[in-house]
Amino acid sequence: MSEQGIWVESVYKTYLSGSEEIKVLRNANLRASIGESVAVVGASGCGKSTLLNLIGGLDRLDSGFIRACGYEVDKLNEKGLTAYRSKGVGFVFQFHYLLKDFTALENVMLPALMAGIANREAKKDAEVLLERVRMGDRAPHFPAQLSGGERQRVALARALINNPSLVLADEPTGNLDEYHKSIVSNLLFSETAESGKMLILVTHSQDLASRADRCLRLSEGRLVQI
């Protein structure tokens, strides 16, 4: 596997709920290469989102290690994690998390500006991405003026603005009707495949999972090929 791929090895993660220990991940292992898409399915509360958060540097593991996009994620300090999340990873969540006082264009531009990209270049890149996700004509609109499916397409464009090697998608179509589920899922797979990105997708949808190159089930804290 290329050093730019993903290597999750012997990962454990436990949370405390009062005095009770909840062992979410127990010896979880996953590998993926550049250009590969992997779907992770499993029961609600089994740890799928925790796995994505660990890979994305949003949470810390208890033991094991995670290598992704050339970064030793489990060893990064806060400054290193910020750089990794900014340059290496694009996040698409079930909820769009668009800033309500920013237009669609401004929401997509924001990660690029935070990464130090000049305003003119960030604007140009954001406009191109909005066109690719069929939202070019909605660029000046605010989130409240967009439908759920439109907001999720803007969120996808935002995830891609810094050209990450890895896209992490957590139930990206979970709140959408069937029409917009089809649009968003088509765009998610086409945009990542055409640019050779890795896609790790958490979903309850068997239809969505079946589109990935591989599908894993998370059960009792471990990942199993299905």
- CA-to-CA separations, 54 to 57, 151, 153, 213, 219, in angstroms, rounded: 5, 25, 24, 22, 17
SS3 93: coil
| Side-by-side strand order, sheet with 20-32 | 20-32, 6-17, 63-68, 71-72
SS3 91: strand
Q: Could you tell me the pTM of the whole model?
A: 0.90
Per-residue pLDDT of the chain (226 residues; tens, 9 = 90+): 345 789 999 999 999 887 888 899 999 999 999 999 999 998 888 889 999 999 999 999 999 999 998 899 999 999 999 989 988 899 988 788 899 999 999 999 999 998 899 999 999 999 999 998 889 999 999 999 999 889 989 999 999 999 999 999 998 888 788 888 888 888 889 888 888 899 999 998 888 899 999 999 999 899 998 8
Domains and CATH numbers, the chain: 34-59+86-225 (3.40.50.300)
